[in-house]
Amino acid sequence: MPRLLIVDGEASHARVTALGLRIEGFDVEVASSAEGALRALADHDFDAAVVDLMLAGTNGIQLARLVRDSHPRTRIVLTSAYHLSERQLVRVDCGAVGFVPKPFDLSELARFLRGKLACSEGCTDGGALTVAPLAPVAAA
């Protein structure tokens, strides 16, 4: 079972994401800050970390760089309501393998993560940077 770390300063969003990904078959832990994420990473190995860009204090890009340097086997997927292009993500050089814009469909996030994790060994494009397509937002 793939082990994920969800890092999101919005507690309710982190809980819903974690619940949905558990239903999708992932083992999930949640951190609400970069500091909490680094503590979790010191205690456990994670296959991937889903990191929100807009964390208070140390932001998501800074955290991604720290994770890249200290836990290179952990794949980093960034997420935010602010859309970033592949070109922007390449320029920030933070080690992320993907970006998923919010709001996202949990089953689509799970599929995106499975694709990244399936290629962790023996696949040449699992570490390639990709941006998930924007999910349609339901009309209110």
pLDDT at 127: 52
Task: Dump pLDDT digits (tens) for 75-97.
Answer: 999 999 887 777 887 888 888 88
Domain coordinates in residue numbering, the chain:
3-131
Task: Dump pLDDT digits (tens) for 3-43.
Answer: 999 999 999 999 999 999 999 999 999 999 999 999 999 99
Please determine, for residue 62, whether its predicted confidence score (pLDDT) is greater than 90: yes
Separation between Cα atoms, residue 75 and residue 61, nearest integer Å: 13
Q: Write down the mean pLDDT value for the chain.
A: 86
Class of the domain covering 3-131? alpha beta
DSSP secondary structure code for residue 132 in this structure: P
DSSP string, 50-85: EEES--SSS-HHHHHHHHHHH-TTSEEEEEESS---
What is the SS3 assignment for 86?
helix
